[in-house]
Structure 1
Amino acid sequence: MKSWKVDIGDNVKAGQLLAEIEEPEVDQQLAQARAQQEIAKVTADRWRDLLDRKVVSKQEYDQNEKAYEAANANLQQLEKIQGFQQVVAPFTGKITARNIDVGTLVTAGTGNSGTPLFNMVQSDPLRVYVFVPQTNAASMREGLKAKILVQERPGQDFEGTVTRTAGALDPTSRTMQVEVQVPNHDGNLYAGMYGQVKFLLPDDNAPIVVPADAFVFRAQGPQVVTVTNDNRIHWQKISVGRDFGTQLEVLDGLAENTKVVINPNDDLVEGIQVQVKPAEKPKAAVAETPASSPTPEVAKK
């Protein structure tokens, strides 16, 4: 390595010089190839003149002409190899690692056989990859809007747009890879961050979710306590889907806009009549008598 021009954290543009590599052997071979190419050109010109005067045969001329073409091709190949002595940025981005120093021996190759010089990232726009479950895969399309949330940026939603979909599900996870492109002009998002992606789907494709503290896991399976139209208690068996942390997805057993009781207990007997009040505080407890007022929550999409 002869010299390096950029370091960690530097912003670079496509085509900008990053480093210079010194290759004495290539320089020597290039000088020799130029001399051979010049000799071959002079020789070919002389034989062309002799051919015009019909002193030599066409075959002899062709041999010298092809020798010149071969020397010219060899020169062009070495000039391209010499061009690799200047390492330039393949795209506009930021340097995240410098793996070489002056004097480092650089070897060409692919994978582990070569010497990595720099690590670069392009963070504007940022590409976010998310694996979408089968239930929502059909709703993924180019141009679909999405919101990206990261724990390190509380209260901030980053707008994104779906740019590509895999078009097939992974046979193991039954999910489809989707690429979301996010503008990142201010650099608030870093490459490699982990976050959550929310897609703005039509209501008919949205799952039914209820608060996690509305679930009761009994011997018969997961259940929720619902409130009927005449304000009576009903224990409803359900099938649970994905866990969203504070909410759980209901796959079967519950209709949209059904009233459910949060923090239920076993004192809520099937069929008893209750007085309903809105759920203002998630921690509100359910009363212990039929005259109590359990706090309901609406199952929603």
Structure 2
Amino acid sequence: MSSETTFPANPPSRRPLRVAGVIGLLIAIGIVAAGLTLRAVDARKLKTWTDAQSVQTVNLIKPIRDTSGPSLQLPGRLEAYTRAPIFAQVSGYLKRWNVDIGTRVKAGQLLAEIETPELDQQLVQARADLQSAQANALVAGTTAKRWEALRGTDSVAQQDVDQRTADYTARAATAAAARANVDRLVATKAFARIVAPFDGVVTARDTDVGALVNAGAGGVGQELFEVSDVKQLRVYVQVPQNYSPAIHDGTNATLTVPEYPDQQFTARVVAAAGSVNSSSGTTLVQLLVDNANGKLLPGGFASLKFNLPVSADSIRVPASALVFDSRGTVVATLGPNNQVVFKPVKISRDFGDSVEIGAGLAATDRVIDTPPDGLADGDHVQIATATDRKAAAHG
């Protein structure tokens, strides 16, 4: 055997292995590069998302300017245009009454009669006194004439003539006083007929046949009837001081009453007290309302609605846009470059769900509704889209 090793004449080539190795290496490098690129993209997306989340999203609203002014609703009370409590001017017993509550009466119409036996006797005595005084005056006058005729003779003294003349003058005066007393009692007797002072409606009757009637008012005598003129009614309302300049003579108001909830009446301001009640901070205003159909009742409650004029400088925003903090009342607005700007404002009127801003805000300002907590001046924010608002509404 030969000790020499025998090799093939043509050994196999290593080039295919090298190519395969290079390709594998390139694939590995590509996979690594793709992974690194994907991670870099994800990192950028994460950073972008994080940055976007750090910028708060806000809803913008535009201040509105009302085409019609605000309304002021106030309670009021109805009173008769003219109201007269009827008292007796003579004492006696009620003989009869001719009208009851709700009766429409004319001026001078008989309401009731009073029986006055004591006054009748006084009148009889006064007339007798008058006749006696007239007779005495007649005799004194005749005597004075006779003595006056004898003055030119020496049969009577001048003093006697003067005495008879003075006696006649005194008796004539007594007769005149008796006549005046009779006339007074006759005039008083006329008040035994209770009549209506004006056209109206009997709104009260507080007496009956046979009742003792005392003359006078103020606790001496009782009220017999009450007559009210209700063709027009007076309406009294207490207006807060800050609204009083807007409610003046000629201002109209819409009036409603509980018994006719679907019907409206028009009342017109005719007078104001011109002063403020220190305890309530209101001023008394009087209105007139037509009541020719008699639907409205004096003494009743009424609700009045005043349509106030539109203020040229005032605008309205939702109450949710207000922020109350150490700066006072402020509104968050969006300035240039979507930066937050807080503006102090002055509230003119509060309507509950919205407020009227009297100063500090312009109609062109972009107002942030319901500002997020922690929002500060200069913060950058983004404006919510319709999709964002829809998603928040369903969230």
- Contact 2:330–2:343, Cα closer than 8 Å, also in 1: yes
- Contact 1:226–1:234, Cα closer than 8 Å, also in 2: yes
Corresponding residue number in structure 2 for 1:191:
298
Would you say 1:83 and 2:83 are equivalent positions?
no
In 2, Cα distance between equivalents of 1:194 and 1:131 = 13
- Contact 1:227–1:258, Cα closer than 8 Å, also in 2: no
Would you say 1:68 and 2:180 are equivalent positions?
no
What root-mean-square deviation, in Å, do the aligned CA atoms of Structure 1 and Structure 2 show? 4.3
Structure 2 counterpart SS, 1:179: strand
Corresponding residue number in structure 1 for 2:240:
133
Equivalent position to 1:105, from 185, 204, 212: 212
- Spell out the pairing of 1:111-122 with structure 2 (5 A cutoff): 111-122=218-229
Which AA in structure 2 matches 1:47?
A: A
Corresponding residue number in structure 1 for 2:108:
15
Corresponding residue number in structure 1 for 2:61:
none
Structure 1 counterpart SS, 2:126: helix
In 1, Cα distance between equivalents of 2:235 and 2:389 = 51
Which AA in structure 1 matches 2:268?
A: T
Structure 2 counterpart SS, 1:114: coil
Larger Rg, first or second structure (1 or 2):
2
Corresponding residue number in structure 2 for 1:38:
131
Equivalent position to 2:383, from 270, 273, 280: 273
Bigger helix share: 2
Corresponding residue number in structure 2 for 1:181:
288
Corresponding residue number in structure 2 for 1:48:
141
| TM-aligned CA distance change 1:238 to 1:24, over 3 Å | same
Structure 1 counterpart SS, 2:297: coil
| TM-aligned CA distance change 1:62 to 1:258, over 3 Å | farther
- Contact 2:335–2:341, Cα closer than 8 Å, also in 1: no
In 2, Cα distance between equivalents of 1:184 and 1:210 = 41
In 2, Cα distance between equivalents of 1:11 and 1:256 = 60
Structure 2 counterpart SS, 1:109: coil
| TM-aligned CA distance change 1:182 to 1:228, over 3 Å | farther
- Contact 1:225–1:260, Cα closer than 8 Å, also in 2: no
Structure 1 counterpart SS, 2:286: strand
In 2, Cα distance between equivalents of 1:239 and 1:103 = 67
Corresponding residue number in structure 2 for 1:92:
199
Would you say 1:27 and 2:120 are equivalent positions?
yes
Bigger strand share: 2
**How far does residue 127 in structure 1 lie from its aligned partner after superposition?**
0.8
What TM-score, normalized by structure 1, do the two folds share? Answer: 0.72
Give the share of equivalent positions with the same residue, in percent. 35
Structure 1 counterpart SS, 2:102: coil
Corresponding residue number in structure 2 for 1:143:
250
**How far does residue 144 in structure 1 lie from its aligned partner after superposition?**
3.3
- Contact 1:209–1:247, Cα closer than 8 Å, also in 2: no
- Contact 1:216–1:223, Cα closer than 8 Å, also in 2: no
Unmatched segments (≥5 aa) in structure 2: 1-93, 149-160, 376-380
Deviates more, 1:52-61 or 1:72-81: 52-61
For residues 80-128 of structure 1, what are the alpha-carbon distances to aligned partners after superposition, in whole Å with 9 as ceiling and x for unaligned? 2212211111222222232111111112232333222123332211111
Instruction: Compare relative contact order (CA 8 Å, sep 6+) and give the higher one, 1 or 2.
Output: 2
Structure 2 counterpart SS, 1:64: helix
Structure 2 counterpart SS, 1:97: strand
Corresponding residue number in structure 1 for 2:275:
168
Which AA in structure 1 matches 2:189?
A: Q
In 2, Cα distance between equivalents of 1:138 and 1:27 = 60
Structure 2 counterpart SS, 1:112: coil
For residues 51-104 of structure 1, what are the alpha-carbon distances to aligned partners after superposition, in whole Å with 9 as ceiling and x for unaligned? 344266332122112111211221222222212211111222222232111111
Which AA in structure 1 matches 2:124?
A: A
**How far does residue 3 in structure 1 lie from its aligned partner after superposition?**
0.4
Structure 1 counterpart SS, 2:107: coil
Which AA in structure 2 matches 1:36?
A: D
- Contact 1:167–1:176, Cα closer than 8 Å, also in 2: yes
In 1, Cα distance between equivalents of 2:311 and 2:219 = 49
